[in-house]
Chains A and B, each alone.
Chain A
Amino acid sequence: MPEAGTGVRTLTGWGGTSPSAARVVEPVDADEIDDALIRPDGPTPPGVIARGLGRSYGDAAQCAGGVVLDTRRLDRIGPIDPETGVVEVGAGVSLAELMRTGLASGWFVPVTPGTRQITVGGAIAADIHGKNHHADGSFGSHVRSVTLATPSGGYEVGPEADADLYWATVGGMGLTGVITGARVTMRPVETSWMVVDTEQHDNLDGLMGALERVDKDHRYTVAWLDCSARGRRFGRGLLDAGDHATSADLGGRRPGDPLAPPGESRLGLPPHLPGGLVNPLTVAAFNEFWFRKSPSRSGRLRRLGGFFHPLDAVANWNRLFGRRGFVQYQFAVGNEHGELVARALEALQVASTPCTMAVLKRFGPGDPGPLSFPIEGWTLALDVPVGPPALPAALRHLDELVAEAGGRVYLAKDSRLDRSTFATMYPRLADFEAVCRRVDPGGILQSDLSRRLGIRSDLAR
C-alpha cells in the first residue's frame, strides 16, 4: 500500500484519463529494481510496473496502489559498433537521445513512432511500429537482446536465446519483467534529411489505393485523413512517402551539417486549458487548413523531425483536450478488411465525435510476439476527445467489427477495451500468460491495463 510522503503520485497516460496513485521509484541500477520485484513491501504483492516517458495513451504504465519504476535514469548509451550498427542502451534512453547520439556517426533508429519522446524500454514493451513497418517490421525485429529483471531473477533474452520469453517481452507491455537494457541494431544513414513525396487525394478509395502503390517504392509511408470530410470528399487525405536522403540527394542544396539531429520542441501549452477547445468546428477548420497547406509535390527535402515527429513540435499537445482527456483508438485488420477504415470514420461522424487526427498506414507481416500489435494489412489511429455522449458505444461497436474481422486494438493506445473483446482480439493470450507464470509465478508484475483487461487470469484481482 502506498503511504503518503513516500513518493506516491497520481499518474495517467498521455490521454490524461483514468488517474491512479502509485509509489514512484526511480531506480539507478538493477539492484534497486530487484528490491521492488523480489522483496515487495506489504503482505500481498501490491504490483510493480515499469514506466518510461509516459507516452502510452492509456493505463499501461500505471499500477494503482503498487509501485511504478520510472526507468529514465537507466540512461547510458554504449558505443555503436561501426560494422553492425549494434548499440547497447539502457531501457530509459529516449529515442530522441539515441537519434542524437547515433546521427553523429551516421546511424538512425531502426523504427520510430510519431514521437521521439519514448524510451527504448517502452519501444520494446509496446513493440512499436513506424512508417516503415511494411518494409522493416516493428521495433522487436531490430533488437539483438534484452536484459530483463523479473521476480524470478535476471534474464538476457533474444530471438535466439529463450525466444519464448523474448517474444513475450516484445509487445508484452512490461508484464514479463522490467526491461533494463537492450542491444539494438541501428540503421546507417548519410544525412538527417528525408526525400519526401506528398500526394493529395480527394477521397478514401484514391488514398488507400495510392498507399498500396507507394509502399512498394518507399521505406516510409503514411496517410493523414480528414475525418471531417463528408460526401464525395469522405476520407480525403494526404499521403507522405519518404526515404532517407543520401549525400547525393542533398547535393549541397542544404548548407550546414548534413547529419544535424532534430532539435528540442520550443512550444508548449499551459496546463488546465478549458475543455471544449476540441470541437467539431475547430477540428473541421484545422483539417481544412492542414489539407490545403500540403499540395501534391515530389522530391521535397524535409528534416527528419518534421517528417517523423510532427507531434513533437508542441511539447504537451495533449493538454489541448482539457481535463477529461482523450482517447486514441488504433486498430489493425487484414488486407481483406480494408472497408473497416471507412466504417470507423463513419462511426465517429455518426456519433458527432470530432476526430483531431486520423493516421492510416499499411502493416507488413507481424512478428511472433503473442501480444504484439501489428498484423499484415491496414492500421488506422483516431484521436478523439472524451465527452461526446455517443462515443463510448460507437467505439464498442467498432471493437466488435474489428474483432469479427480478426483484427485487434493496440494496447499502447488502449484505455477502454473490455476483457472479453480483448481476449478475442489476442487469441494467443494463453501463450503469453504461460510465459508470465514461468518468470513471475506470484503475479507481481501488473498494471492498471493488465488488471482492466484481465491479463493473468490465473490470479484473483
Chain B
Amino acid sequence: MNDAFGRPGSVIVFGGTSDIARALLRELAGAGCDRVVLAGRDEARLAEAKKEAEASGTATVTTLIFDAEDVAQAEAVVDRGFEMVGRADLVVIAVGLLADQAEDEADPARVARCMTVNLTWPAAALARVGHHLRAQGSGRAVVLSSVAGVRVRRANFVYGSAKAGIDAYARGVHQTLAGTGAGVMVVRPGFVRTKMTEGRPDRPLSATAEQVARDIVKGLQNGAEVVWSPPVMRAVFFAFGLLPERLWRRLPL
C-alpha cells in the first residue's frame, strides 16, 4: 500500500531498464518499497537493472520480457505484471523510443514505429492498468510524458506528437479514475541526460535522471496530476505557448 507520503510498497515498471525508472527505484528502495517487477525488452539489460534494484535494498525483484511493438500483447503483459507482484501500489510506464527526427519524418514505417512504442502500446497498457487499479481501490500509475509533447517543435515533432498523445490520454484515464482510490500522474521531463539522449548536445535546464526521480517522488507525495521536471519547465513552456507559430518554428530548439 502507498504510505502517507505516497511511497509504494510494490511497483511494476514497464520500460524497467530506462535510466529514469532505475533512478526512481533507487529512490523508492530506501523508502519501504520491497517488491518490484521490471518489465522490458532486453534480457541482459533487465538482469542488470534487477541487480541494481536488489543492491539498493529491494527485497524481491522479478523480471518480465515484452515487446512494446507488439500492441496485441499489451493487455496480457499488464495482467502478467499484476499477477507477479500481487497488489501494485505504483505502475510506471516508462516505455519510450527517441529516434532520429530527420530519418523518421520521411519514412512512414519509422513514423508508425515511433507512434507504436511511444503512444499506442503505452495507451493500451494504461487502459488495462486503469482496470486493475480500479479493482484494487488504490494505487497510482505514473506515465512518462515529455515537454516535447507540450508544444511540438520542428526539430522532433514525430516523437513530440506521440508524447502529446500519451500525455492527453493519460490525463483522460486519470479523470475516469476519480473516486476509485486510484489515479494517474503524468510526468513531463525536459531534456534529461540519459542513455536515450546520449550523444546529443546538452541543453539549458537539462536534468539528470536522479533529479526527475526526486520530482516524481515529490509529486506522489503531493498527489500531483502533472509533474514538470525540473519544475521551472512549467513556466518555460507557458511562455513558449505564447509565441506565434512563425517565431516558434524558427527557434533553434
Interface residues of A (CB under 8 A from B): 1-2, 8, 10, 15, 17-22, 58-59, 63-66, 323-325, 327, 386-387, 389, 391-393, 396, 415-420, 448-449, 451-452, 460-461
| Residues on A with beta carbons closer than 8 Å to the beta carbon of B231 | none
Whole-angstrom distance between the Cβ of B86 and the nearest chain A Cβ: 5
The reply to whether B181 and A20 contact each other, CB–CB distance below 8 Å, is yes
**B9 interface hit (Cβ, 8 Å):** yes
- Could you tell me the distance between the alpha carbons of A428 and B123 in the complex, rounded to whole angstroms? 46
The reply to whether B4 and A18 contact each other, CB–CB distance below 8 Å, is yes
Whole-angstrom distance between the Cβ of B79 and the nearest chain A Cβ: 15
The reply to whether A418 and B4 contact each other, CB–CB distance below 8 Å, is no
| Residues on B with beta carbons closer than 8 Å to the beta carbon of A417 | 3
Partner of B223, one of A323, A393, A396, A419: A323
A20-B138 in contact given A59-B1, A386-B5, A452-B3 (Cβ < 8 Å): yes
Partner of A452, one of B9, B135, B179, B223: B9
Whole-angstrom distance between the Cβ of B28 and the nearest chain A Cβ: 11
| Residues on B with beta carbons closer than 8 Å to the beta carbon of A449 | 1
The reply to whether B31 and A389 contact each other, CB–CB distance below 8 Å, is no
A1-B1 in contact given A19-B181, A418-B34 (Cβ < 8 Å): no
Interface string of B87-120 (1 = CB under 8 A from A): 1000000000000000000000000000000000
The reply to whether B31 and A2 contact each other, CB–CB distance below 8 Å, is no
Given contacts A8-B180, A22-B181, 11 further A-B contacts (CB under 8 A): A1-B135, A64-B138, A324-B222, A325-B4, A327-B4, A391-B5, A392-B7, A392-B31, A396-B31, A420-B34, A451-B9
The reply to whether A22 and B4 contact each other, CB–CB distance below 8 Å, is no
Interface residues of B (CB under 8 A from A): 1-7, 9, 30-32, 34, 86-87, 135-139, 179-182, 218, 221-223
Whole-angstrom distance between the Cβ of B222 and the nearest chain A Cβ: 6
| Residues on A with beta carbons closer than 8 Å to the beta carbon of B1 | 18, 20, 59, 64, 448-449, 451-452
| Residues on B with beta carbons closer than 8 Å to the beta carbon of A418 | 3, 9, 31-32, 34
A-B pairs with beta carbons under 8 Å apart, 15 shown: A8-B180, A15-B4, A17-B3, A18-B1, A18-B2, A18-B3, A20-B138, A21-B180, A64-B1, A386-B5, A391-B5, A396-B31, A415-B3, A416-B4, A417-B3
- Could you tell me the distance between the alpha carbons of A327 and B6 in the complex, rounded to whole angstroms? 12
A21-B31 in contact given A15-B4, A59-B1, A386-B221 (Cβ < 8 Å): no
- Could you tell me the distance between the alpha carbons of A64 and B182 in the complex, rounded to whole angstroms? 10
Q: Please report whether the interface of chain A is mostly helix, strand, loop or mixed according to DSSP.
A: loop
The reply to whether A2 and B137 contact each other, CB–CB distance below 8 Å, is yes
A415-B4 in contact given A64-B136, A386-B221, A460-B86 (Cβ < 8 Å): yes
The reply to whether A451 and B87 contact each other, CB–CB distance below 8 Å, is yes
The reply to whether B4 and A419 contact each other, CB–CB distance below 8 Å, is no
Whole-angstrom distance between the Cβ of A196 and the nearest chain B Cβ: 34
- Could you tell me the distance between the alpha carbons of A461 and B30 in the complex, rounded to whole angstroms? 21
The reply to whether A392 and B136 contact each other, CB–CB distance below 8 Å, is no
| Minimum CB distance partner of B221 in chain A | A386
Partner of B34, one of A393, A419, A448: A419
The reply to whether A58 and B135 contact each other, CB–CB distance below 8 Å, is no
| Minimum CB distance partner of A65 in chain B | B137
A392-B135 in contact given A10-B181, A20-B181, A419-B34 (Cβ < 8 Å): no
- Could you tell me the distance between the alpha carbons of A240 and B88 in the complex, rounded to whole angstroms? 46
The reply to whether A419 and B9 contact each other, CB–CB distance below 8 Å, is yes
Counting chain B CB atoms within 10 Å of each CB, which of A17, A393, A417 scores highest? A17
The reply to whether B221 and A324 contact each other, CB–CB distance below 8 Å, is yes
| Minimum CB distance partner of A392 in chain B | B5
The reply to whether B5 and A64 contact each other, CB–CB distance below 8 Å, is no
| Residues on A with beta carbons closer than 8 Å to the beta carbon of B136 | 64-65
Partner of B138, one of A1, A58, A65, A387: A65
A461-B87 in contact given A21-B179, A418-B32 (Cβ < 8 Å): yes
- Could you tell me the distance between the alpha carbons of A15 and B222 in the complex, rounded to whole angstroms? 14
The reply to whether B86 and A461 contact each other, CB–CB distance below 8 Å, is yes
Cβ-closest 4 pairs across A and B: A21-B181, A65-B137, A64-B137, A418-B32
Whole-angstrom distance between the Cβ of A352 and the nearest chain B Cβ: 15
- Could you tell me the distance between the alpha carbons of A420 and B181 in the complex, rounded to whole angstroms? 26
- Could you tell me the distance between the alpha carbons of A256 and B25 in the complex, rounded to whole angstroms? 64
| Minimum CB distance partner of B32 in chain A | A418
Whole-angstrom distance between the Cβ of A139 and the nearest chain B Cβ: 25
- Could you tell me the distance between the alpha carbons of A325 and B86 in the complex, rounded to whole angstroms? 28
Partner of A21, one of B7, B87, B137: B137
| Residues on B with beta carbons closer than 8 Å to the beta carbon of A59 | 1
- Could you tell me the distance between the alpha carbons of A21 and B137 in the complex, rounded to whole angstroms? 5
Partner of A17, one of B4, B9, B180: B4
| Residues on A with beta carbons closer than 8 Å to the beta carbon of B86 | 460-461
- Could you tell me the distance between the alpha carbons of A420 and B29 in the complex, rounded to whole angstroms? 13
The reply to whether A20 and B222 contact each other, CB–CB distance below 8 Å, is no
| Minimum CB distance partner of A416 in chain B | B3
A324-B223 in contact given A10-B181, A460-B86, A461-B87 (Cβ < 8 Å): yes
| Residues on B with beta carbons closer than 8 Å to the beta carbon of A10 | 179-181
- Could you tell me the distance between the alpha carbons of A392 and B5 in the complex, rounded to whole angstroms? 7
- Could you tell me the distance between the alpha carbons of A423 and B6 in the complex, rounded to whole angstroms? 21
Whole-angstrom distance between the Cβ of B61 and the nearest chain A Cβ: 16
